[in-house]
């Protein structure tokens, strides 16, 4: 098996009324957890990496590890470029085998966002890679990209139609109130806006910042057209908390195979739960 685009997965999800979970991975262990769980539960899955993750792990390592996981479990796997901002960076990674791309021009004025995304689509489609783009701007923090609440803004449904039409993207990330990282208090999602966007465009929609969003809100978003649900923070917290707890009871531990193991178990429980919430179990 090799790395695939997310196009077929998301269309399958759209036709069947579920969402494909996209989990941010960072290294061998996090890829192992996601692949093993996807195989066990027969769930389609996307492994996502920010530019920071690809720099940390090395694109060559990450591509090879994900390909090995796809072969080992006979899984159609998408390794996805999460929030990538430049064509040079995307081009280099697509040439190394990545087939699922997000070009994030959400910080740019509308017309410039369109131009950047259109160029990314032209580049990626030559390689059969799928392209996701964001309209509106999510608040919160992911890696070193921090968007203050005042700088975030929601997706305008009418603009979404023009954006999709002018760019030729395969999926659209919407800003409807979710945020990257931890929420202060209960998140509020603008479901009316999501339905309006759905009426304007027919392509698969993407929900970023799904950590900390209650189950019923995620499921309502899926019923209204969300086909890809991005999760990072909830996995990191589960993993780190379990490793911290292990060190509290084993202060002299020094074998990474031992102290990392509880982190993987805790992360796996979250991956399973998110697959259940997304309705993706058994949908491979
Ligand atoms: P969270 O860290 O809030 O889950 O967001 C993940 C995400 O949207 C990745 O693009």
Is 80 one of the annotated binding-site residues? no
Is 211 one of the annotated binding-site residues? yes
Mutate which of 79, 136, 175, 211 for ligand 1 pocket (most atoms within 8 A of beta carbon): 211
- Say if residue 257's pLDDT is above 70: yes
Mean pLDDT (whole number) for 272-278? 98
Tell me which architecture the domain covering 6-278 has in CATH. Answer: Alpha-Beta Barrel (3.20)
Q: Which of 1-10, 14-23, 273-282 has the lowest mean pLDDT?
A: 1-10
- Say if residue 149's pLDDT is above 90: no
Residues with active-site annotation: 82
State the closest ligand 1 atom to the C-alpha of 235, by its place in the atom list counted from 1.
4
Distance 181 CA to ligand 1 centre (A): 6
pLDDT of residue 95: 97
Q: Report, in angstroms and rounded to the nearest whole number, the Rg of the chain calculated over CA atoms.
A: 18
Distance 23 CA to ligand 1 centre (A): 8
Could you read off the pLDDT of 188-243 as tens digits, one per residue? 999 999 999 999 999 999 999 999 999 999 999 999 999 999 999 999 999 999 99
Helix pair 261-278, 233-249: axis angle to 10 deg = 150
Any ligand 1 atom below 6 A from CB of 232: yes
State the closest ligand 1 atom to the C-alpha of 82, by its place in the atom list counted from 1.
10
Q: Predicted confidence band at 1 (pLDDT cuts at 50, 70, 90)?
A: low
Q: Residue 140's beta-bridge partner residues?
A: 147, 180
Could you read off the pLDDT of 50-91 as tens digits, one per residue? 999 999 999 999 999 999 999 999 999 999 999 999 999 999
Distance 178 CA to ligand 1 centre (A): 9
Domain boundaries, the chain: 6-278
């Amino acid at each position: 098996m090799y790395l695939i685009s997310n196009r077929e997965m998301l269309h399958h999800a759209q036709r069947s009324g579920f969402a494909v979970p996209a989990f941010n991975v960072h290294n061998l262990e996090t890829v192992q957890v996601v692949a093993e769980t996807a195989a066990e539960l027969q769930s389609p899955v996307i492994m996502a990496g920010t530019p920071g993750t690809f720099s940390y792990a090395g694109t060559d390592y990450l591509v090879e590890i994900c390909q090995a996981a796809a072969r080992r479990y006979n899984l159609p796997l998408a390794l996805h470029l999460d929030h990538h901002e430049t064509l040079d960076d995307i081009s280099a990674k697509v040439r190394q085998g990545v087939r699922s791309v997000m070009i994030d021009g959400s910080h740019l004025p509308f017309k410039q966002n369109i131009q950047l995304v259109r160029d990314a689509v032209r580049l990626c489609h030559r390689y059969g890679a799928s392209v996701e783009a964001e309209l509106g701007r999510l608040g919160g923090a992911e890696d070193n990209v921090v968007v203050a609440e005042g700088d975030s803004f929601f997706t305008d449904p009418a603009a979404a139609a023009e954006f999709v039409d002018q760019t030729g993207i395969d999926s659209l990330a919407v800003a409807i109130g979710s945020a990257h990282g931890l929420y202060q208090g209960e998140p509020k999602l603008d479901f009316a806006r999501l339905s309006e966007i759905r009426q304007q465009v027919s392509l698969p929609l993407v929900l970023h910042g799904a950590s900390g969003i209650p189950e019923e809100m995620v499921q309502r978003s899926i019923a209204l057209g969300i086909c890809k649900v991005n999760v990072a923070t909830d996995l990191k917290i589960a993993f780190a908390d379990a490793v911290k707890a292990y060190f509290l009871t084993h202060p002299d531990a020094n074998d990474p195979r031992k102290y990392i193991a509880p982190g993987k178990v805790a992360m796996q429980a979250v991956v399973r739960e998110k697959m259940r919430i997304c309705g993706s179990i058994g949908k491979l």
